[in-house]
Structure 1
Amino acid sequence: MATLFYGNAAEPIHIEDRALAHLKVVIATKLRRQESFTLSWEHYDGEPGGRSTIWIHPSIPLRFTFDEAERPEINPQWVQLIMNSANSTGGICLVDEILATPEPQA
């Protein structure tokens, strides 16, 4: 389980390693453009129920830590889905990964 540390929040945000790797690509892209947005997620089992939302802003410190040392292969389709949600009025909502489907053989 990876961890996202944001600002001076008392509690870190726990997100699965592969999901956070993809989220990091989108967040870094948005912050490089000086764009602010919201990030929402559902709480994991063992945490209080419900969901949370934070406002991501370029001036607030952010740190990503991963349990796995090896970087996962990035799925461009998943990054695009997350980016599309980042550009919406609702901000980033973590969505399930879409796996590429093989093209039918002619």
Structure 2
Amino acid sequence: MLLISCPWCGPRDETEYHYGGQAHVPYPKNPAELTDEEWAAYVFYRDNPKGPFAERWMHGTGCRRWFNVLRDTVSYEVLAAYRLDEPRPDIAQAGGNP
């Protein structure tokens, strides 16, 4: 099990959270102008890297707030957790390998 540190509530077991997908995916500026293929790419296609990956999580049984988690997809190690209004931490600062 993962131990995820909510920026507001502190460390909690992963069973208290809901996964929300890839973080830092910008909403299209003019969604009405997108083709079906462009809209499908925005809705369905996400990165699937090996290594550090920024994800969105929601603390469902706690404060119910969304936040971002930087997690290593190989080791499942949580490298950092940060609020949505904060920038993605530098991997070296977060404890991961550069």
TM-score, shorter chain, exceeding 0.5: no
More strand as a share of residues: 2
More helix as a share of residues: 1
TM superposition score normalised by structure 1? 0.27
